[in-house]
């Protein structure tokens, strides 16, 4: 089976840095994705990691350690518009479908 854990909620202030952790246990691993979802809207793709290490994309970075079954999403220079749910997802064993965690709701305040 597959299990993905993320904190339910996090809070931060504008301009700060926040790290959202994700741990996973899967039978087979085909990559890890991070998505952002504003309330009532579609999830939007943020990043993809399949090899260990850090991937940087502007204000957002994502890290993966396959041996530890661990990933994090790092958000820098937080803005109010970053208030959203952040979803960690791994590809299923067949490599087709995404298995999502329940998401971390981030609230950014001024």
Partner 1 sequence: DSGVTQTPKHLITATGQRVTLRCSPRSGDLSVYWYQQSLDQGLQFLIHYYNGEERAKGNILERFSAQQFPDLHSELNLSSLELGDSALYFCASSVGAGVDQPQHFGDGTRLSIL
Positions in the binding site for partner 1 (CB under 8 A): 30-31, 33, 35, 40-45, 48, 50, 87, 89, 91-92, 94-103
Cβ burial of 74 (10 Å; 0-12, 13-18, 19+) is middle
Q: By C-beta, is 78 or 85 nearer to partner 1?
A: 85
* Closest-CA residue to 49 (of 91, 4, 10): 91
Backbone angles phi, psi at 44, to 5 degrees: -120, 140
Structure tokens at 5: 């854990």
For the CB of residue 81, give the shortest distance to partner 1 in the complex, in Å: 17
Query: Closest approach of Cβ 88 to partner 1, in Å?
Result: 11
Q: Which of residues 16 and 50 has its CB atom nearest to partner 1 in the complex?
A: 50
- Residue closer to partner 1, measured from CB, 69 or 101: 101
Q: Measured between alpha carbons, how far is 69 from 21 in angstroms, rounded to an integer?
A: 11
For the CB of residue 9, give the shortest distance to partner 1 in the complex, in Å. 14
């Amino acid at each position: 089976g597959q299990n993905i854990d993320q904190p339910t909620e996090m809070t931060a202030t504008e301009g700060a840095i926040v790290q959202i952790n994700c741990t996973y246990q899967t039978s087979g691993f085909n990559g890890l994705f991070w998505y952002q979802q504003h309330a009532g809207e579609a999830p939007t793709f943020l990043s993809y990691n399949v090899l260990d290490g850090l991937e940087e994309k502007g204000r957002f970075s994502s890290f993966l350690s396959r041996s530890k079954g661990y990933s994090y999403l790092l958000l820098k220079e937080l803005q109010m518009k970053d208030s959203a749910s952040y979803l960690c997802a791994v590809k299923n064993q067949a490599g087709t479908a995404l298995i999502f965690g329940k998401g971390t709701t981030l609230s950014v305040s001024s």
